[in-house]
Amino acid sequence: MMLAPDEAPRPVTVRRVRGLAAEAWLRILMPLLIGALSLSAWEWAVRVNEVPPYILPAPSVIWATLVRDWPSLSISLWITLQITFAALAVAAALGLLLAVLFAQSKWIELSLFPYAVVLQVTPIVAIAPLIIIWVDDIRLALLICAWIVAFFPILSNTTFGLNSVDHNLADLFRLYRASRLQALLFLRLPAAMPFFLAGLRISGGLALIGAIVAEFVAGTGGRASGLAYRILEAGYQLQIPRMFAALLLICIAGIAIFLALGLVQHIALRRWHESAMRREG
Amino acid sequence: MEGGGAAPGLLAPAPRPLVRLRGVGKRYGAGTLALHGVDLDIGRGDFLSLLGPSGCGKSTLLRILAGLTSASSGTLDWPSAANDARGVQAPRLGFVFQEPTLMPWATALANAALPLRLEGVARSEREARAAEALARVGLAGFERAYPRALSGGMRMRVSIARALVTRPDILLMDEPFAALDEITRFRLNNDLLEIWHEAGFTVVFVTHSVFESVYLSRRIAVMASRPGRIEAEIAVPSPYPRGEAFRTSAEYAAICRTVSLALAEAIAA
């Protein structure tokens, strides 16, 4: 049996400039340009109108503050990130585990899923004080708060993914008498992978927000406190540029987490999933 | 094991058919009678097409044969099949769906090796056998390709390789080429006949195309709907191998006419 030459698909060609696709350059350059323009406008407006720094500091002042206060701010950043990553890891592991449990039986899913929703819709600001009272270890309390916020998208997405297996493929596994474990490992988990990773990407940002909200509520002082406390502290002392510098660090951390998880998603799915494919033409 | 010439008495059932159906019916929960009173013997090495309009129960019959759904009445047995690992007399099945139904996250090789993996065959052996099956459907050199990178016809070839990898007694095909363009379909028709001719397994082929069923089969069961049933059985005595010359012959046209008339009658009945 031979394959006819016209039966094989043609390879995709992409125009490249210095190793990057031309479209990728545009995707990097355009946001940078917009950012540079708005920063310049901000700087210009502050200087021309002589706005005092305790109302709105100029970008150059914020940058100078960030550089000057880097030793103390970086410690706080590291503490906030530790809580974020720990919460994200626990959310990913527990979300995946619970989703697999839900997928075992419709009954388990129907009985437990509403409580996961309750957890999701309860405002974290409202329950954070309770958690902080109940849990002695403040870092553990912060981790639980961040986890509650980050947990739901992973659980919900993975459950959806485990249940959206191609019916014919499921039939095929039945035909070859696959065990439940085989169907889970070789069919349902790989099929749920893109959904899990999409959930993880949402949860990355949420874990950071959860950690910071909890830190705000806890308001712990001392050297070993997170970025939220630095913002509160700077607010009390009217050190507005320092407040902005801490805010900037939170933004950068959030963007970095989002990009890193996007990269993980791309690497895991690049060979087979539509979302990671470059379109022709 | 299958000779090239037309064997006499094709409609006479073999003494020990591979599969025997008696009075098989299927009623779905809502009360719809999808299939009624199907009597059918399928011999070893046979190529049987189930031909009929949509809703005549041909896919249901195929799913009953595959054990994916159970008959609500009648009996189905495999008189000459060997015992499987559980000691039950069961055939080795291969199933090809209308869609290629491949795992998008796995290479062509891993897709073709899936049935062996589920059976617990060791990695090196299953990869060797899957590579052999891929070569047999003309996909040597595409072992590492993902389904996304393959054309529709090539994906269907992977699907056929997966069905062949267990060396099945019977290959069940549910309108496998219906979604392909005509040129690819003709090519896959020829390749399927070639593989079947070499290996000698049994094929049950569901189709709604008179031309495809006549070109491929040794025997055609014409089905009608409401309730789904077999209305007529027609033998196609033309010898194998059949090629493009057969497709344009007067003999082929004559048989197509007979089958078309039988189908029209079945639909009108």
On whether both B224 and B120 belong to a single domain, the answer is no
Measure the CA dihedral A189/B62/B154/B141, to 10°.
Answer: 70
Chain B residues close to A178, C-beta within 8 Å: 118
Best of A176, A184, A193, A265 to disrupt the B interface (most B CBs within 10 Å) is A176
Chain B residues close to A171, C-beta within 8 Å: 68, 95, 97
Cα B45-B49-B52 angle, rounded to 5 deg: 165
pLDDT attached to residue B3: 38
Q: What is the pLDDT of residues A70-86, one digit of tens each?
A: 999 999 999 999 999 99
* DSSP secondary structure, A75-101, as one string: HHHHHHHHHHHHHHHHHHHHHHHHHHH
On whether both B108 and B236 belong to a single domain, the answer is no
Domain A77-270: which topology? MetI-like fold (1.10.3720)
Specify whether the CB–CB gap between B235 and B218 falls below 8 A: yes
Burial classification of residue B108, based on how many CB atoms lie within 10 Å of its CB (0-12 exposed, 13-18 middle, 19 or more buried): buried
Residue B8 lies in a domain: no
Specify whether the CB–CB gap between A244 and A62 falls below 8 A: yes
For residues A96-121, give the mean pLDDT: 89
Cis bond before residue B227 (omega within 30° of 0): yes
Q: Which of A9, A190, A103, A279 is nearest to B102 (CA)?
A: A190
Q: How far is CA A261 from the centre of its chain?
A: 7
Residue B137 lies in a domain: yes
On whether both B186 and B244 belong to a single domain, the answer is yes
Q: Is residue A115 classed as helix, strand or coil in its secondary structure? A: helix
Residue B35 lies in a domain: yes
Best of B60, B88, B93, B114 to disrupt the A interface (most A CBs within 10 Å) is B114
pLDDT bin (cut points 50, 70, 90) of residue B15 is low
CA distance A196 to A163: 12
On whether both B197 and B86 belong to a single domain, the answer is yes
On whether both B134 and B177 belong to a single domain, the answer is no
Q: Which of B125, B148, B167 is the last residue of a domain?
A: B167
Cα A253-A258-A262 angle, rounded to 5 deg: 145
Cα B70-B74-B76 angle, rounded to 5 deg: 65
Task: Give the count of beta carbons closer than 10 Å to the beta carbon of residue A257.
Answer: 20
pLDDT attached to residue B109: 97
Joined tokens for residue A169: 């493929």
Chain A residues close to B104, C-beta within 8 Å: 272-273
Q: Report how many domains make up chain B.
A: 2
On whether both B150 and B263 belong to a single domain, the answer is no
Q: What is the pLDDT of residues A215-267, one digit of tens each?
A: 988 876 555 688 998 999 898 898 999 999 999 999 999 999 999 999 999 99
Chain A residues close to B117, C-beta within 8 Å: 186
Joined tokens for residue B3: 């000779």
Expressed as residue numbers, the domain containing B116 is 101-167
Put simply, the answer to whether B138 touches A8 (Cβ < 8 Å) is no
For residues B157-184, give the mean pLDDT: 94
Beta-sheet pairing, B33-42 with B19-27: antiparallel
CA distance A217 to B250: 88
Cα A241-A244-A245 angle, rounded to 5 deg: 85
Q: What is the pLDDT of residues A168-215, one digit of tens each?
A: 999 999 999 999 999 999 999 999 999 999 999 999 999 999 999 999
Q: What is the pLDDT of residues B191-208, one digit of tens each?
A: 999 999 999 899 999 999
CATH number at residue B189: 3.40.50.300
Q: What is the pLDDT of residues B182-193, one digit of tens each?
A: 999 999 999 999
Q: Supply the mean pLDDT for chain A.
A: 88
Put simply, the answer to whether A173 touches B118 (Cβ < 8 Å) is yes
Best of B118, B157, B164, B187 to disrupt the A interface (most A CBs within 10 Å) is B118
* % of chain B beyond a pLDDT of 70: 93
Put simply, the answer to whether B138 touches A1 (Cβ < 8 Å) is yes
Q: What pTM does this model have?
A: 0.85
Please tell me which of the candidates A2, A174, A182 has its beta carbon nearest to residue B68.
A174
pLDDT bin (cut points 50, 70, 90) of residue A136 is confident
Whether B7 shows a pLDDT value over 60: the answer reads no
For residues B146-157, give the mean pLDDT: 94
pLDDT attached to residue A109: 87
- Cα dihedral B34, B40, B45, B50 sign: negative
Please tell me which of the candidates B67, B146, B154 has its beta carbon nearest to residue A7.
B154
pLDDT attached to residue A63: 95
Residue B83 lies in a domain: yes
Specify whether the CB–CB gap between A253 and A78 falls below 8 A: no
* % of chain A beyond a pLDDT of 70: 89
Which residues neighbour B251 within 8 Å (Cβ) at sequence distance 6 or greater? B238
Task: Give the count of beta carbons closer than 10 Å to the beta carbon of residue B84.
Answer: 12
Domain boundaries defined on chain A: 77-270
On whether both B148 and B208 belong to a single domain, the answer is no
On whether both B30 and B141 belong to a single domain, the answer is no
pLDDT attached to residue A26: 84
CA distance between the termini of chain B: 39
Put simply, the answer to whether A173 touches B194 (Cβ < 8 Å) is no
Question: Which residues does A contribute to its contact with B (CB < 8 Å)?
Answer: 1-4, 7-9, 166, 168-169, 171-178, 182, 186-187, 190-191, 193, 271-274, 277
According to DSSP, residue B83 is labeled B
CA distance A22 to B20: 63
On whether both B181 and B202 belong to a single domain, the answer is yes
Please tell me which of the candidates B101, B148, B149 has its beta carbon nearest to residue A168.
B101
Cα–Cα distances in angstroms (integers) from residue B143 to residues B30, B124, B130, B139, B158, in the given order: 45, 14, 9, 7, 10
Range scoring the smallest mean pLDDT among A103-107, A235-239, B84-88, B224-228: B84-88
For residues A11-24, give the mean pLDDT: 64
Rounded to a whole number of angstroms, the distance from the CA of A156 to the nearest CA of chain B is: 22
pLDDT bin (cut points 50, 70, 90) of residue B9 is very low
Rounded to a whole number of angstroms, the distance from the CA of A155 to the nearest CA of chain B is: 22
pLDDT bin (cut points 50, 70, 90) of residue A281 is very low
Task: Give the count of beta carbons closer than 10 Å to the beta carbon of residue A118.
Answer: 9
Specify whether the CB–CB gap between B162 and B106 falls below 8 A: no
Q: Which of B167, B187, B214 is the last residue of a domain?
A: B167
Range scoring the smallest mean pLDDT among A127-131, B31-35, B46-50, B244-248: B31-35
Put simply, the answer to whether A187 touches B103 (Cβ < 8 Å) is yes
On whether both B25 and B121 belong to a single domain, the answer is no
Whether B166 shows a pLDDT value over 70: the answer reads yes
**Which residue does chain B place closest to A191, by CA atoms?**
B105
Q: How far is CA A240 from the centre of its chain?
A: 28
Rounded to a whole number of angstroms, the distance from the CA of A169 to the nearest CA of chain B is: 6
Chain B residues close to A190, C-beta within 8 Å: 103, 105-106
On whether both B77 and B174 belong to a single domain, the answer is yes
On whether both B194 and B258 belong to a single domain, the answer is yes
Please tell me which of the candidates B97, B118, B146 has its beta carbon nearest to residue A272.
B146
**Which residue does chain B place closest to A184, by CA atoms?**
B118
Question: Which residues does B contribute to its contact with A (CB < 8 Å)?
Answer: 66-68, 93, 95, 97, 99, 101, 103-106, 114-115, 117-119, 136-139, 146-151, 153-154, 157, 184, 187, 191, 194-195
* DSSP secondary structure, B105-163, as one string: TS-HHHHHHHHHHHHT--HHHHHHHHHHHHHHTT-TT-TT--GGGS-HHHHHHHHHHHH
Chain A residues close to B172, C-beta within 8 Å: none
Put simply, the answer to whether A172 touches B114 (Cβ < 8 Å) is yes
Residues composing chain B: 269
Whether A20 shows a pLDDT value over 70: the answer reads no
CA distance B247 to B198: 21
pLDDT attached to residue B6: 40
CA distance A163 to A171: 14
pLDDT attached to residue B2: 39
Put simply, the answer to whether A176 touches B137 (Cβ < 8 Å) is no
pLDDT attached to residue A19: 62
CA distance B172 to B79: 18
Rounded to a whole number of angstroms, the distance from the CA of A193 to the nearest CA of chain B is: 10
Rounded to a whole number of angstroms, the distance from the CA of A9 to the nearest CA of chain B is: 6
CA distance B165 to A165: 23
Task: Decide if the complex's ipTM is over 0.85.
Answer: yes
Specify whether the CB–CB gap between B47 and B218 falls below 8 A: yes
Q: What is the pLDDT of residues B127-146, one digit of tens each?
A: 999 999 999 999 999 999 99
Which residues neighbour A53 within 8 Å (Cβ) at sequence distance 6 or greater? A61, A240, A241
Which residues neighbour B109 within 8 Å (Cβ) at sequence distance 6 or greater? B127, B130, B131, B134, B143, B144
Put simply, the answer to whether B118 touches A3 (Cβ < 8 Å) is no
Whether B211 shows a pLDDT value over 80: the answer reads yes
Q: Which of A22, A59, A63 is nearest to A42 (CA)?
A: A59
pLDDT attached to residue A74: 93
Q: Which of B128, B148, B167 is the last residue of a domain?
A: B167
